[in-house]
Structure formats: C-alpha cells, structure tokens
C-alpha cells in the first residue's frame, strides 16, 4: 500500500495558523492537539503572514480601481443622457418639419 499525504482544507489551515500567531499555545501544544507536524504549522503561519500583507496591498489598489470604474460609469451615464436629449430634439424637429413621426424606440 502506498502512503497518501493527508490534505488539509483551507479553513483548518487558517485556524491552526491563527492559533500559532496568537501565541496562546506553543507549537508543540498545537502539534499534539491537531496531530500536524510542526513544520506544517510554521509554514502555514508564515504563509498567512505573507498573504496578509499582500491582502492589504491589494485592497488599496482595488479601491483605486473602484474609483476609476465609478468615474467611467459616471461618464457613460452622462453620455447616455446627452444622446437621449439629442434623440428627443431630433425627433421633435423632424415632426415639426413633417417628416416621419413614428418613433422606432
């Protein structure tokens, strides 16, 4: 029989890594409690700290992206409003000139 590696779900990894970061229990206590090797716990802890930094870096960039998207959306709504005014003006003007009165929209 082959030995399969045990795979842990992300929630379990995060739980163990957070407990290791808090420092309420030692790594050896976490090893005995969760039956996970100390190297794995240290790796998960390091990975959590590295990802936490990138999480905050991304959030500031995402905020800037949201602002630029909102500005683009506002500009598009402004253009839509302008086109509606122009369309209505041309429809009224063509009706005054006796041209086709049916509105296709």
| Extents of the domains making up the chain | 10-96
Q: Is 0.75 topped by the overall pTM?
A: no
Spatial neighbors of 105 by CB under 8 A, at least 6 apart, are 87
What is the pLDDT at residue 56?
74
**What whole-number distance in Å separates Cα of residue 81 and Cα of residue 84?**
5
Q: Are 44 and 20 in contact (CB under 8 A)?
A: yes
Question: pLDDT per position in the chain (105 positions), as tens?
Answer: 567 888 999 999 999 999 999 999 999 999 999 999 999 999 999 999 988 887 777 656 666 777 889 999 999 999 999 999 999 999 889 888 888 765 666
What is the pLDDT at residue 19?
94
**What whole-number distance in Å separates Cα of residue 24 and Cα of residue 6?**
26
Buried b (16+ CB within 10 A) or exposed e, 52-83: eeeeeeeeeeeeeeeeeeeeeeeeeeeeeeee
What is the pLDDT at residue 5?
84
What is the pLDDT at residue 88?
92
């Amino acid at each position: 029989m082959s030995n399969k590696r045990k795979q842990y779900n992300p929630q379990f990894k995060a739980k163990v890594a957070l407990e290791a970061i808090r420092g309420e229990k030692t790594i050896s206590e976490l090893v005995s409690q969760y039956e996970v090797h100390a190297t794995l716990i240290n790796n998960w802890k390091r990975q959590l700290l590295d990802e936490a930094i990138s999480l905050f870096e991304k959030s500031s960039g995402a905020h800037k992206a949201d602002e630029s998207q909102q500005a683009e959306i506002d500009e598009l709504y402004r253009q839509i409003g302008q086109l509606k005014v122009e369309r209505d003006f041309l429809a009224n003007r063509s009706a005054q000139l006796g041209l086709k009165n049916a509105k296709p929209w």
